[in-house]
Amino acid sequence: MSRTDLSKSPARIAGMFDAIATRYDFLNHLLSVGVDRRWRRRAIRALSLTGRERVLDLCTGTADLAIASADARPGAARVIGVDFAGAMLQVGQHKIRHGHLTDRITLVRGDATRIPLGDRTVDAITIAFGIRNVENTAAACREMLRVLKPGGRVAILEFGIPATPGVRALYLWYFTHVLPPIGRIVSRHNAAYGYLPASVSAFASPDEFVTVLRECGFVDAIAVPLTFGIVFLYTARCG
């Protein structure tokens, strides 16, 4: 995959993430200077969990957000993590066993556009930095609405591009000149950390993605900028 190849077939994306699975968490924390943990906590707070919910963590990857959902106070009663990258799920399963959470978190291999759950079976859905990698974003949003119970909440974290000129310039410089070479050296994968900035630039703007959520049937959809707009937290509700 070349640096500018934005093809998002499930096989291609899964293969890319499987190739970097063992170094993925380390690079996440390194390249975000640890702020990614704060973003995840903010997403979970947006769900207003009571301790009784069944939460779906879609595009779960190595299960960081699934684990954070279970560890929150109060946390989810049950979490189902779904991803199509098998090696990423293996890393996540190891973390779940290490954290003694196997009775509360289940990881399942599956596609975000064909979620392997029944209608109206979950109380909340989370996604961390995965929605932009889905080939058909609208199809994934419709599937999320299908599996959510009425009144169920969604919290989606995704990278954005800051609007403030100085911050934007610094961010784009870091994202295009610092992140890719560090990612390539540590992950030993030439394409993945070139794909990252390209995919962020190509993803829908916050207003556009909020429109997608609304058109798919969600209500109260909003986009909240975090850390100067480096990341957006999208929240919505099943009407």
The predicted-structure confidence for 209-224, as pLDDT tens digits, reads as follows 999 999 999 999 999 9
The domain spans of the chain are: 10-238
Predicted pLDDT of residue 3 = 44
Q: What pLDDT is recorded for position 51?
A: 96
| The predicted structure's pLDDT at residue 1 | 37
pLDDT of residue 196: 77
Residue 121: what pLDDT?
Answer: 98
Task: For the sheet with 78-83, list strands across it.
Answer: 105-109, 78-83, 54-58, 122-128, 148-159, 231-238, 218-226
Listed as ranges, residues in the chain with pLDDT below 50 are 1-3
Query: Residue 104 — φ and ψ, nearest 5°?
Result: -120, -20
Topology, domain 10-238: Rossmann fold (3.40.50)
